[in-house]
Amino acid sequence: MRDFSFYNPVRVHFGKDAMTKLPEELEKYGKNVLLAYGGGSIKRTGLYDRVTEALKAAGKEVYELTGIMPNPRTEKVYEGIDICRKHGIDLILAVGGGSTIYCCKAIAVGAPAEGDFWERFFVNWEPAETGIPLGVILTLPATGSEMDKSSVVTRFETNEKNGYDSEQMFPRFTILDPTLTYTLPRHQMVNGIVDTMSHLMELYISPPDDDFLTDYLAEATMRTEIDAARKALIDPEDYEARANLMWCSTFTLCGMLNNAKKTDWESHNIEHPLSGVYDVAHGAGLSVVHPAYLEYFLQPALPRLVRMAKNVWGVDPAGKTDEAVALEGIACLRRFFHEELGAPATLTELNIPESAIPRLVALTDLSCFGYQTVTAEDVSAILHRCL
């Protein structure tokens, strides 16, 4: 087992009545609150009214940052930083999914810092010394950003999409109410499931291959996610199912499943240009890329893929070669993604032509941390398998 450090100070309130914890959280912070959200969906669902009523009852002065877009951009961060500085914001309350939270994390460390947040943190990775407290009310589970210290922001002018990690960006509290996900369209639920499974495999299918707690926990999370997904597909308002999907997604990226693992984010890296160039949903892109990635790297990852086939998908290894067992496991994954969930299986379904592959390859970040170095030729071969 490799050495590791673990630290995650996020306070989570989970459940049907999690929103009732909001007043006691608000009490801990000063008067001036920045309420940040994306489009109008929280107004349609009534969540906006519930939150603003709680803020009013707590005697807060509320300033709003609205219209945070998917792949949040630097200009929205600057807008939030200006509000924080002008009004001495004491708490940033992010209501939404990963994009809103990412944007608010950048604002949280950017506002109290001298100079330009982008240069200092997202380019030069200076350690942030302080951050405005951040609270989260999650509406869309997938990115795990509600219980981690990461942010990703896009600088549109220069086409840069940079990440930054800082303990100052950990949310102070996160409210997870699974009933808030009932109104998500089916394709968004499916994309979240694919994304969570992909995160789990990126953590699990990486060295070392010893049997240790982190791997057993990752298998347990995959089995829970698969079971819950099947139930939620039948009944999107199955509370137990939605609750498991939400908690699996958050738990996956809270750090416990990174412990002692090298991790391997290359499937995500290969997917990013698909989203970036063709505006494909991240989960849809992963549904195409991740199974093909695993088939391509069958040999280096063989022991781990055999274990996943047996322990997650219930493949019976009797009388089969390791290769056959591993491929049967990946076939189960494909059936789950492409038949049960109905997520796309090919680039063609995403309207991405073969001729696009060289450009996509050129845009793929090759900073791989898995079993072996990934080359541009590998990425090209994997994408050709996806046609």
> What is the binding site for its own copies (CB under 8 A)?
1-18, 21, 210-213, 216-217, 219-221, 223-224, 227, 239-240, 243-244, 247-248, 251, 256, 259-260
Closest CA to 289 of 359, 360, 221, 186: 360
Amino acid of residue 192: G
User: Token match 């989570």: residue?
Assistant: 12
Of 52 and 259, which has the nearer Cβ to its own copies?
259
Q: What are phi and psi of 154, to 5 degrees?
A: -105, 130
SS3 39: coil
What is the nearest approach in angstroms of its own copies to the Cβ of residue 114? Answer: 24
Of 21 and 385, which has the nearer Cβ to its own copies?
21
- Pairwise CA distance, residues 156 & 70, whole Å: 12
Of 218 and 284, which has the nearer Cβ to its own copies?
218
SS3 327: helix
Of 123 and 256, which has the nearer Cβ to its own copies?
256
What is the nearest approach in angstroms of its own copies to the Cβ of residue 26? Answer: 15
Strand 61-65 relative to strand 91-96: parallel, antiparallel, unpaired? unpaired
For 102, the token pair is 């990412």
Q: Residue 68: exposed, middle, or buried by beta-carbon count in 10 A (0-12, 13-18, 19+)?
A: buried
What is the nearest approach in angstroms of its own copies to the Cβ of residue 18? Answer: 6
Of 213 and 362, which has the nearer Cβ to its own copies?
213
Q: Peptide bond before 208: cis, by omega within 30 degrees of 0?
A: yes
What is the nearest approach in angstroms of its own copies to the Cβ of residue 48? Answer: 23
User: Do 279 and 361 contact (CB within 8 A), yes or no?
Assistant: no
Of 15 and 317, which has the nearer Cβ to its own copies?
15
What is the nearest approach in angstroms of its own copies to the Cβ of residue 161? Answer: 30
What is the nearest approach in angstroms of its own copies to the Cβ of residue 186? Answer: 22
Angle between helices 282-296 and 376-385 (to 10 degrees): 110
Of 6 and 125, which has the nearer Cβ to its own copies?
6
Of 42 and 245, which has the nearer Cβ to its own copies?
245
Q: What are phi and psi of 160, to 5 degrees?
A: -100, 135
What is the nearest approach in angstroms of its own copies to the Cβ of residue 13? Answer: 5
Closest CA to 68 of 44, 45, 92, 101: 101
For 139, the token pair is 């509406």
Greatest alpha-carbon span in the chain: 70
User: Do 81 and 65 contact (CB within 8 A), yes or no?
Assistant: no
What is the nearest approach in angstroms of its own copies to the Cβ of residue 91? Answer: 17
